Amino acid sequence: MPLDIRALPAPADAALLAKLRRVDFPTLGHYLEEGFCAPELQRMAGTERLVGRAVTVRTTATDSTLLHHAAGLVEPGDVVVVDCGGDRRHAPLGEVVANALASRRAAGVVVDGLCTDVDALRALDLPVYAYGRTPLTTKLHGLADGSLCAPVVCGGVPVHPGDLVLGDANGVIVAPAERLAAVIDEALADDAEEPALVARLWQGEPLGSLTGATDTLQRLS
């Protein structure tokens, strides 16, 4: 495919980002079914939760020229999402690219492939998600192939530039802003109620009675 280089997406809604930074991401799993990346895509570095606007990059198996270019364009709070075209041998992300992103105050990076320089990445503390690690890296071949800020696939999930990327120790979620906006208030309300629910469990009340599961089973039987 030829090069496809597009403009950065519109800024994300600050109020929605603020709410997403407060919510427990697994709570969103009660309301959403799509957008959850493959569970093998895990955090390799960083300790902070990830919330930000997706800036998408598609590279080839061996050429990371487009990623180097994108690293100089990202804005504060962006999450770079790298589609490696299915490659699971070469690492497009290592110490230098991660420092380039961190210096521009990117929120993190999600690689649908591998990373390298993991000790340096962990010292930098930039959130990095990948399938694993390798010392085999991409090169700057300058191939006329790849895309910037065009739709990609990461963790089996379609990712459009401007989608919102959420990540923690459980994994990664990618969804359009409007889809997250439709459920965020209810999810936050659930989080607010959870401590009282847990306290009642420790007081001896059965979980099925508190959630209604027991009554449902009695009606079904």
* Tens-digit pLDDT profile for residues 129-165: 999 999 999 999 999 999 999 999 999 999 999 999 9
Return the C-alpha torsion angle 60, 65, 68, 73, nearest 10: -90
Pair 71, 100: CB distance under 8 Å: yes
Q: Which two tokens stand for residue 54?
A: 């997706």
Q: Output the pLDDT for position 210.
A: 97
- Reported as a single tens digit per residue, the pLDDT across 161-212 is 999 999 999 999 999 999 999 999 999 999 999 999 999 999 999 999 999 9
pLDDT of residue 151: 98
38: which DSSP letter? P
Indicate the burial class of 115 (C-beta count within 10 angstroms; 0-12, 13-18, 19 or more): buried
DSSP 128-180: EEESEE-S-B-B----S-EEESS-EEETTEEE-TT-EEEEETTEEEEE-HHHH
Using 50, 70 and 90 to split pLDDT, how confident is the model at 2? confident
Burial class (CB in 10 A: 0-12, 13-18, 19+), 161: buried
State which amino acid sits at residue 69. Answer: H
Mean predicted lDDT score pLDDT of the chain? 97
Burial class (CB in 10 A: 0-12, 13-18, 19+), 58: buried
Residue 61 pLDDT grade (very low, low, confident, very high; cuts 50, 70, 90): confident
Beta bridge partners of residue 147, listed in sequence order: 4, 58
Provide, rounded to the nearest whole percent, the portion of the chain with pLDDT above 70.
100
Mean pLDDT, rounded, for 99-127: 98
Contact (Cβ atoms closer than 8 angstroms) between residue 90 and residue 108: no
Query: CA 201, CA 204: separation in Å to the nearest integer?
Result: 5
Q: What is the mean pLDDT of residues 59-63?
A: 92
pLDDT at residue 1 in the model: 60
The percentage of the chain sitting over the pLDDT mark of 90, rounded to a whole number, equals 99
